[in-house]
Amino acid sequence: MALIVLSLLWLLLARCSRYAPMYNTPMPFRPQGNPNAAKRGRTPPPEETFEEANFLKALGEKQKPVSVKLMDGQTVSGWIEYYDKHMVRLTREGAPNLFIFKHEIMYIAESGGKRK
């Protein structure tokens, strides 16, 4: 009788033990990737890099030809002669010079080559 009780007790403990083999049970979820990344957190990229003035200054000093894409879809070409906090002066050959507000500019790209 004691032997039967001990064997039943052993079976019960074996089923409840975490070391006993478990069949057809789902594995616990593990997140993919680096486990330390969630703890560390990433800082988002800055809104401003403060390189705009350096970029415009370099383009103006070298009188590099640029293409300026405006918010309304127009593209104008020339070189940057002057800029300040709110506007850019685009000098063009054979066409009137333009004073363009910065909030109307989508992007400025170098056209390649040298004006001089």
The residue with greater pLDDT, 35 or 92, is 92
Domain assignment present for residue 8? The answer is no
- Is residue 79 exposed (0-12), middle (13-18) or buried (19+ Cβ within 10 Å)? buried
Domain assignment present for residue 31? The answer is no
Domain assignment present for residue 80? The answer is yes
pLDDT in tens, 39-58: 567 888 788 888 989 999 99
pLDDT mean over 86-96: 95
The HSE-up count of residue 12 (CA atoms within 13 Å, CB side) is 6
Domain assignment present for residue 20? The answer is no
Strand order in the sheet with 105-110: 98-101, 87-91, 75-83, 65-70, 105-110
Q: Is the pTM of this model over 0.95?
A: no
User: How many structural domains comprise the chain?
Assistant: 1
Q: Per residue in 42-61, is it b (16+ CB within 10 Å) or e — as a string?
A: eeeeeeeeeeeeeebeebbe
Domain assignment present for residue 92? The answer is yes
CATH number for 61: 2.30.30.100
Domain assignment present for residue 44? The answer is no
Domain assignment present for residue 12? The answer is no
Domain that holds residue 74: 52-110
Look at residue 71 in the predicted model and tell me its pLDDT: 96
Domain assignment present for residue 90? The answer is yes
